[in-house]
Amino acid sequence: MTMAWAQAKMLSYYLRVNLAIYEALHGIVKVPAAMLPGSITAPDDLETNPVSKKVFEAVHQLQREFIDEQLGRTPMTPEP
C-alpha cells in the first residue's frame, strides 16, 4: 500500500479520533504484551547528529506514552 505523507498524517489523525471515541465509550483498548513494541536502541550518532537525536527522542516519547497507557501508569512514572 502506498500513500503520501500528508495522507498518512490524516489517517493517523482520524484513527486517533476514532480510538478516543471508542475508548471513551468502552475503556482503553488493551494490546497483548506480546504485541507491545520492544525497546529502542539509541543510534550511534545520537550526540553528534541533531536529526538523529530529535527522531530518537520523539520515538522514545511516543513509545513511553503508549506503554504507560497500556500498563495503567500515569505519565512520567519512573520505569521499573
Domain layout of the chain by residue ranges: 1-29, 31-80
Q: CA-CA distance, 16 to 52, in Å (whole number)?
A: 26
The number of angstroms, rounded, from the C-alpha of 50 to the middle of its chain's C-alpha atoms is 21
Give 39-61 pLDDT, tens digit per residue: 999 999 999 999 999 999 999 99
Contacts of 20 (CB under 8 A, 6+ apart): none
Put simply, whether the predicted model's pTM sits higher than 0.95 gets the answer: no
pLDDT score at 80: 52
Q: Are 53 and 46 in contact (CB under 8 A)?
A: yes
